[in-house]
Amino acid sequence: MLRRRFLLSALPALIPGSTARAQPGVHPLVSAARRQVGVTVRYDPAYVRLVYPGGDVPGDRGVCTDVVIRAYRAAFGLDLQKLVHEDMTRHFAAYPKTWGLRGPDRNIDHRRVPNLETFLTHRRAALPLSAPWEAGDLITQRLPGNLPHIVIVTGGKSALGQPLVVHNIGTGAQVEPIPAFARNVGRFHFMPYRG
């Protein structure tokens, strides 16, 4: 109870500049992700030189990670571009070498699912996949061809009982059942107070 009281009293200080406007009972990350539906309407994986910190590709486009990045900025004022870049600068050897980089690249590193998996693991945000998923969880997947994907769990279910997620898998930000053709490989819950 004492920890909860501390967290609630410290919350404004922990999320400076928060622009969250979540409905009562709706997770702020989910609310921020849902607001991207109809705004982010294209899937575009192009490499783009970004402002740092706080850089973003044009809001009408992006990839699955951009849904997550924008949701954290809108809900909590957290800049994953900056956080991932700082962590990669300190722990570059721990990050995947898939792209042949010789050092961090603040334009793209935060937009790659395997890098987010490593960052979230460093932040002690990993949870068992087998436990019941909750609103605001991030699920990482591998699509056919071993392509990485990430979704935000809404806490809702489809008519067939599938977990509903917010993601961009090809047609912009959408709320849909989690892709059943993908293999789930990671579950994370990263909130400001989890550090």
pLDDT value at residue 165: 98
Decide if 184 contacts 165 (C-beta within 8 A): no
Which superfamily, per CATH, for 2-194?
A: endopeptidase domain like (from Nostoc punctiforme) (3.90.1720.10)
pLDDT value at residue 23: 54
Question: Average model confidence (pLDDT) for the chain?
Answer: 89
pLDDT value at residue 5: 32
SS3 state of residue 111: helix
Gap between the Cα atoms of 179 and 156, Å rounded: 15
Report whether pLDDT(112) > 50. yes
pLDDT tier, 192 (very low <50, low <70, confident <90, very high otherwise)? confident
Of 35-44, 83-92, 95-104, 144-153, the one with minimum mean pLDDT is 95-104
Decide if 11 contacts 193 (C-beta within 8 A): yes
Domain map of the chain by residue range?
2-194
Direct distance between the N- and C-terminal alpha carbons of the chain, in angstroms, rounded to an integer = 19
Report whether pLDDT(94) > 70. yes
Of 2-11, 112-121, 141-150, the one with minimum mean pLDDT is 2-11
pLDDT tier, 3 (very low <50, low <70, confident <90, very high otherwise)? very low
pLDDT value at residue 10: 35
Gap between the Cα atoms of 152 and 30, Å rounded: 7
**CA–CA distances in Å: residue 63 to residues 85, 132, 178:** 18, 26, 16
